[in-house]
Structure 1
Amino acid sequence: MDNNIVHFLRLASALNPASRLQEPIPVTIELLASVLCCTPRNVKFILRKLEDKGCIEWQPGRGRGHKSGMAFMRSVEEVLEEHLQELTGKGKIKQGIELIGLPEVNGPLQERLLSLLNMHMGYHSETESITGLDTLRIIRNRRMEKLDPATVYRAFESYLIEQICSTLVIYDAKNNSFLPGLAHMWEANPEHTSYIFYLRKRVRFHHGRFLTSKDVKETLLRLTDRQSPVSWHYRDIVSVELQGDHRIRIDLARPNLFFLHLFSCVHMSIVPYDVDFLHQPIGTGPYRLLDYNEKVLVLAAFDDYYAIRPLLDRVEIWYVPELGYNDRTYQLPDTEPGGTGAGEGECANLSIDYPALGCRYIMMNFRRNGRQHHPLFRQVLRMLYHPEALVRELGGNRITPADSFLPWISRRTLWNRPSFEEAEKLLRSSGYQGEEITLAYASRREEEREEAEWLQRRGARIGLNLRLAPYSHFNMGELLRQADLLLAEEVLEDDWQWGMINYFMNRSNHFYSLLQQSQRDEIEAQLQDFAGVPEAAGILLLERAESLIRDNCWVLYGSHLNKRAQLNQSLFGLHTGSFGFLDISRLWIKTGFAETAQGGGIGTGMSNSDSVE
């Protein structure tokens, strides 16, 4: 951090010059030494530096008893905005984030600086260099978890692993089929108890070694070694046989028609057997990890990628806490949000909406004693947290009422409107005595806060004492001890069947953690034969498992959500990957023709959708 900026902020904070700009303020060297925590001699050196930068004017006192005068020539806002522009212009994003995080920077000023920083994110091209690297910078306001395919459970971390690693097969959501990945072919015996995968040859890991069948076997074993929460899905594997460097056979204890889904999911991203992925994330994916620390994650295009090399050379994902934005912006240089593009009247930035697969909902904490264990009380909550009323009264990104994670199932529901009188009568029948019920929600999500307060008001109308508990950093142990209810959001993968079965059976997700063992056993009994039946029968089992949690009000569905992305119309190759994120491996930038002498230009419009978390 620039010491001159720190000194200027300390002086401004101590002397409060906001209403006295360019007006001399009486001070003494001794006072300034105290404010700046330095010697009187150093004070004069610091003042000279600030004068040279045009931040202050210094008038030393003449003679004993005469105070000196210091005038602030520029406002704090002006100085900080200029310095942030200077830092980001030089690519010093880390220093810019540190500037915004200074204790003296808060409130509206912090919001302005964050907006300014966001404008310097997006696409940057080193057109004057020999390499001509194209870089995309993105802001995140949640700290990233460790990257580990075996244990990953957050959507964004899963998305990053998919950029670094590859799987044996790739699920094609459009056609509900599988495409070759690291395996160029596969086959199963008629009973679906044995599978053979044929690996591509000369596929390189990021550290240079070629992929072999041993890497696939060790990746499978790693799920057990790391006590992966998805191990349940692989429990029927009885043997793994290496039939050469590029062929592997897997034998099962019973038929499994769902087996390819297990080898296209992020948890079976193939990692090298000779590297500890936790300390050195290495895969065969389109991007290799260049840097990963508490401030930034940097991806670089992998030139030896076995498929098509990414057109975008570098991606920087910067962590800026408490940013507060719900939309992700992919901003290009020399444009302003909402400005115009090359053609007269054309909008250079497009707001793209898309419906997310999944919904927002409320989970019950059955691991904590409380009224939520009573079926009638849960029915009351169901009446209060009414999906149709939620969408009708709050609107926003809530597009349709949810009665399932899957929108096409929700559309089957015919909604009634229970009265508050009915809910109040049922509340008394549940034995509720006015005790406090705690609802936890993520403070960084504005719509969750809005929803929680809406439910609190509705509860108060019938005498329900609902306490809201916002959290900024999720802690499952603390939630289990203190909260009765949890407001959450689930976004499913493109492979929604895998997403649903994994939601029900993943040992590390919030839903599983909040259930009692008897409830988990009920769900597992419903899904025990899921992998061994044809697809139509498997879908029916998923619907029955969801009916179990819906009919018993173990979860309360709220609304299906609309996601939004701000896109510049010069972004091409817009394709969504898993969980609805922008597939950066296919992104490129079209700069267009230079303007003619008459100032004319050629504009181009895009309507492809980008997705955000």
Structure 2
Amino acid sequence: MQLVEQYIRLCAGRPTEEIGRPLDISLAEVAAILFCTLRNATLTLKKMQSQGWVVWQPGRGRGNRSVITCMLEPADLVLTVAKELVQKGEIRSAREMIDQYRSDLQALDENFSRWMNSQFGPRVMREKGNRGRVDTLRLFYNRPFAGLDPIHIVLRSESHMVKHLFDCLVRFDPVTRTIEPAIAFYWEASEEGKQWTFYLRKGVLFHHGRQLVAEDVRFSLLRLMEHSYKHRWLAASIVSIMVKDDHVLTICLHERDELFLQALSKDYMAIVPQDYVQQMGDQFAQMPVGTGPFRVVRNDDSMLVLEVFTPYFGGRPFLDRIEIWCVPGMAVEAQADETLLSVTALDYQRDTSDPAWSDVVRLEDCFQYVSLNGAKDGPLSHRAFRRLLASMISGRALRQDLQGARERAVIWGGADSFHEKEEVPDSRELARIFEACGYQGEALLLYTYPDPDHVEDAEWILNSCKEYGIAIEIRYASPEELALPSLLREADLVVDSANVDERAELSLREFLYAGALSISHHLDPLGKEEIEHLMSQMASVQTSQDRQPYVDSIMHTLASYSTFVPLYSNRVEMIAHPRLSGVSLDAYGWIDFRRIFVRE
């Protein structure tokens, strides 16, 4: 803000004077300090006085000096204005102001972070009228939620928000590991398993007020099939979708698929309103409308605000409002003894002498990995070279060196195929492999995100390979860029995360087939053919227990082709405010907002 800058300039212009002490000064001197005209200097001083920043007593008559008293230390003023901006919801502007002055004003950044921490956690307000008590949960995250269109989301954080805004035809219960009704209350399949008929609930409302009909379901599924290269794999078995009336539709498949219902429960398959999507176009991702328990009322680069959708057919959540403030770097700066509940992993230690706070800890089912591009011409097209790289990139060594929240990953049942690799060959054998595969020291391209953990992983891989004479060039890309098939095909290596939850076999299908993940683009032709055959066989088997041998065979095949190297899973640690109940972490390490409530 220009007025803040002018006040700081005014204080800096008289460096030996104390704050709060009257000072004789002429209007001309003020104008010189502020680099403006006498008229603008007068207007500026009046504005500052109206804000209570200065006391200005203009001199009366020619030659009489004026008196000015600066009432606030510059750091206190900047902090006060930043707080006011935050209270108005202008969080990005407040953060930019703090960043602008943090190097010149001592302790400003620390004081702002401490105050910001105090703003998070549960809030209970009493409002007049019908609303009465309003329970709000205020959280922080390090980036805006720019894209919340189910068919285009990439990040697990986006998927988590979509889960609260939309519903699918059916839902998967992670506790019982069974499919339950959602928008469809009943379904039946033909004897050969190729034709599924779904009966939809009546009276299901979208957030914009219209009732859901079967045509919305057909539109949503076709939209994913036609416009989402990222998640088209979910609907690969669908041949046609026929609407019989407003509440009944039939989906026909190419062949029997025992994972079809699980696929319909994925957030990417959420049902959207045809009229609103067509009306909003690209803006739908910013202000989406679904049938879920919460609806979006604000979404910009400062915050995402969700409000409870009272008519929700699945039962009203306990919370009334969720505010997620976008505060880059907040997770690093936060102090654990403040009232907050972060939606990101917290690495710091809190005061364990306070038993009222509760720790929520879980090892993610998801895991970090590096994939090796066997489909690209060059040394990595040779299985021996990929096996050599895999032996250099040991998940165990990486975890020991980098530590933090990294723990050994359990990969689809912990198949023996991915226990730690063999030792790196000696120098003579290295030279032989290099020559046989045509490797002449050229740099291999490694792509990943610029997030701190990915950066550490990538640099560790670079140094580990360099030790054995293999050059790595690291290139950082945004999540949206790293989801592009063209970039994934260009990469020699990719450090990424696999989305894994209690739907284990479906998660494996996503890992292998999702267009936004590297494995589908990095498998060499022979490996892809073997995997395709095993996946097709697995899809026809009815029980998870009977599908496990196919999972083990697929993992053995991936290991034998040295397609990827699992690195670790993250240990997610969260601290919950004493007044919050119902806090738990899902397989992605996120909290379910539908179950949280605030105690008095």
Q: Aligned-pair distance for 1:123?
A: 2.1
Alignment match, 2:96: 101
1:288 lines up with 2:295 in the alignment: yes
Alignment match, 2:205: 204
Could you tell me whether the CA contact under 8 Å between 2:446 and 2:472 is conserved in 1? yes
- Distance change in 2, residues 1:51/1:180 (3 Å): same
Could you tell me whether the CA contact under 8 Å between 1:338 and 1:349 is conserved in 2? no
Residues 492-547 of structure 1: per-residue CA shift (max 9 Å, x gap): 23323222211211123344355677765554344234422233454433333333
366-375 or 147-156, larger mean C-alpha shift: 366-375
Alpha-carbon distance in 1 for matches of 2:542, 2:185: 24
Q: Aligned-pair distance for 1:47?
A: 4.2
Could you tell me whether the CA contact under 8 Å between 1:237 and 1:252 is conserved in 2? yes
Alpha-carbon distance in 1 for matches of 2:73, 2:111: 14
233-242 or 557-566, larger mean C-alpha shift: 233-242
Alpha-carbon distance in 2 for matches of 1:72, 1:583: 49
SS at match of 2:187: strand
Alpha-carbon distance in 2 for matches of 1:328, 1:214: 50
- Distance change in 2, residues 1:333/1:320 (3 Å): closer
- Distance change in 2, residues 1:296/1:40 (3 Å): same
Task: Let me know the Cα RMSD of the aligned residues.
Answer: 4.2
Residues 460-483 of structure 1: per-residue CA shift (max 9 Å, x gap): 433444444445665236955985
Could you tell me whether the CA contact under 8 Å between 1:192 and 1:256 is conserved in 2? yes
546, 554, 557: which one aligns with 2:563:
554
434-443 or 187-196, larger mean C-alpha shift: 434-443
Q: Aligned-pair distance for 1:316?
A: 2.0
Could you tell me whether the CA contact under 8 Å between 1:215 and 1:271 is conserved in 2? yes
Residues 163-219 of structure 1: per-residue CA shift (max 9 Å, x gap): 111122211222221112122222223321222222222222222222232322222
- Distance change in 2, residues 1:271/1:365 (3 Å): same
TM-score relative to the length of structure 1? 0.80
Alignment match, 2:433: 429
SS at match of 1:282: coil
Which structure 2 residues correspond to residues 64-213 of structure 1 after superposition, within 5 A?
74-88=72-86, 91-94=87-90, 96-102=91-97, 104-106=100-102, 109-110=108-109, 112-127=111-126, 129-130=128-129, 131=131, 132-213=133-214
577-586 or 22-31, larger mean C-alpha shift: 22-31
Alignment match, 1:46: 44
Alpha-carbon distance in 2 for matches of 1:393, 1:262: 38
- Distance change in 2, residues 1:392/1:417 (3 Å): farther
Q: Aligned-pair distance for 1:358?
A: 2.0
Q: Aligned-pair distance for 1:233?
A: 3.8
Counterpart residue identity of residue 183, structure 1:
A
SS at match of 1:547: helix
SS at match of 1:363: strand
Alpha-carbon distance in 2 for matches of 1:469, 1:30: 55
Alignment match, 2:232: 231
Which structure 2 residues correspond to residues 519-534 of structure 1 after superposition, within 5 A?
520=528, 523-534=531-542
Q: Aligned-pair distance for 1:374?
A: 4.1
Alpha-carbon distance in 2 for matches of 1:493, 1:9: 53
451, 456, 474: which one aligns with 2:457:
451
Alignment match, 2:405: 397
Alignment match, 1:269: 270
Alignment match, 1:500: 508
Alpha-carbon distance in 1 for matches of 2:234, 2:52: 66
Counterpart residue identity of residue 297, structure 2:
L
Alpha-carbon distance in 2 for matches of 1:112, 1:429: 57
- Distance change in 2, residues 1:473/1:51 (3 Å): farther
Alpha-carbon distance in 2 for matches of 1:193, 1:333: 49
Could you list the runs of 5+ residues in structure 1 that have no partner in the other structure? 592-613
Number of residue pairs matched? 575
- Distance change in 2, residues 1:46/1:218 (3 Å): same
Residues 26-46 of structure 1: per-residue CA shift (max 9 Å, x gap): 999789757756433323443
Counterpart residue identity of residue 124, structure 1:
R
Alpha-carbon distance in 1 for matches of 2:259, 2:324: 35
- Distance change in 2, residues 1:156/1:437 (3 Å): same
Q: Aligned-pair distance for 1:8?
A: 3.2
SS at match of 1:84: helix
- Distance change in 2, residues 1:505/1:473 (3 Å): closer
Which structure 2 residues correspond to residues 592-607 of structure 1 after superposition, within 5 A?
none
SS at match of 2:414: helix
SS at match of 1:192: coil
1:387 lines up with 2:389 in the alignment: no
1:586 lines up with 2:592 in the alignment: no
Residues 73-97 of structure 1: per-residue CA shift (max 9 Å, x gap): 6544333333334444xx3231x43
SS at match of 1:550: helix
Q: Aligned-pair distance for 1:558?
A: 0.8
Residues 553-585 of structure 1: per-residue CA shift (max 9 Å, x gap): 222211122112221121112244563321112
Could you tell me whether the CA contact under 8 Å between 1:367 and 1:516 is conserved in 2? yes
